[in-house]
Amino acid sequence: MKRILSALRSLAVLAVLAPAAFGVHAQAPQPPEIAARTYLLVDVTANQVLAAKDIDAPVEQASLTKLMTGYLVFDALRAKKITLEQKLPVSVRAWKMPGSRMFIDPKMQVPVDDLLKGMIVQSGNDATVALAEGVGGTVENFVKLMNDQAQALGMKGTAYKNPEGLTEPGHTTTARDLATLATRLMKDFPEYMHYYATKQYSYPGTPASNGNNRNALLFRDPTVDGLKTGHTAAAGYCLVATSKREFPNVGQRRLLSIVLGAASENARANESQKLLNWGYTAFDAVKLFDAGQPVATPAVWKGTASTIRIGRSEAIVVAVPSGSAGKVTTQIVRQDPLVAPFTKGQAIGSLKVVLGEQPLVEVPLVALDGVEQAGILGRAWDAIRLWIK
């Protein structure tokens, strides 16, 4: 059941990221020139894509791979298979990992908390392998878990060959899949997102000069709080960055930028910052309904209640080109009649959002309350009323 629910949640994300749901129309603001092979800008709060280029092209993952490694480690922590305080051994395999390192060795027993910081802040391949072995038993088994999770999340363009991201044939992903993974990572494990905002860290006894987070935007923009850098010769310089800023009548609005294949460390930071700033200024956020606020209260037949509230557990927010909020209209699409029973959270239709005459986005609506089936007399009476109707 857990796997099914996970897949359903991912389908909702993928539906938003599908080309037909980009919310890009003739009047859409044109994004700035971005010096990268591929890029993607998502308004996470509105679940809309604001800008995109070649988002289904296969690309080298580099250390962006560690986003999935983190996802599985957080899942293991939540399931209490490991703890943050638990010390994991450092294998010779982990110690000998090339590339970025935390500088741990087989004489050490390192707490999971420190290994997470080593993997995320320092992008340490040694820390990543130690975590993979601690969660999966072996690196090979952990890689299988990575691919299983990618499938569950609907990441159809991704294949993992290792947990750290070193170049290996077939170890590829897409910007679309990275958006799915990053969005789910933030949504599913908010209690662990502070790791990605950590600017500096070094394990006692290791070089302090190795302690700066590779994400330069953490030092430039106080609204940026993640997520991960990546670089190999094949991948170029990559950055998955996220920012949250306060907006009137909306509250915190989060954007996610993905820049892949930039020419340098500075370029990936500059292009990511350019995308984020453009997204916040070129698009307004419009809150249509508060969290838990019913979008409609239609009639229910053959139930213990005569009506049912439908809406979303989170606020319904849409992103529209700046200055066009007054052109937004909505339409509810649902089956009729609604015949009980209904469980809380069950999908019941959708809210179509239109900007002018152009479809903008379609938001799934769910039952905000459950409605049980009525007794035999109630069902019989409503059957007669429906027949007459």
Distance CA 340, CA 345 (A): 14
Give the H or E element holding residue 256.
strand 251-262
Query: Which residue in 217, 243, 241 sits closest to 67, CA to CA?
Result: 241
Tokens for 324, please give them.
Answer: 């066009």
Q: Is 132 helix (H, G, I), strand (E, B) or coil?
A: helix
Q: What's the N-to-C CA distance of the chain in angstroms?
A: 39
Of residues 10, 66, 287, 302, which has the active-site annotation? 66
Residue 328, CA distances (Å) to 186, 221, 281, 301, 353 in order: 29, 32, 18, 32, 7
CB-CB contact of 273 with 217 (8 Å): yes
- Residue 233 burial class via C-beta count within 10 angstroms: exposed 0-12, middle 13-18, buried 19 and up: exposed
Integer angstrom CA distances of residue 251 from 65, 245, 285, 325, 364: 31, 8, 10, 17, 22
Residues 6 or more apart from 239 whose CB is under 8 A from it? 215, 217, 228, 229, 230, 257, 258, 259, 262, 268, 269, 272
Report the chain's C-alpha Rg in angstroms: 23
* C-alpha to C-alpha distance for 15 and 4, rounded to whole angstroms: 16
Query: Does 63 qualify as catalytic in the annotation?
Result: yes
Point out the catalytic residue in the list 10, 100, 117, 123: 123
Active-site residue flag, 264: no
Task: Give me the DSSP letters along 260-305.
Answer: EEESSHHHHHHHHHHHHHHHHHHEEEEEEE-TT--SB--BEESBSS
One of 63, 100, 257, 350 is an active-site residue; which one? 63
CB 94 within 8 A of CB 104: yes
Catalytically active residues are 63, 66, 123
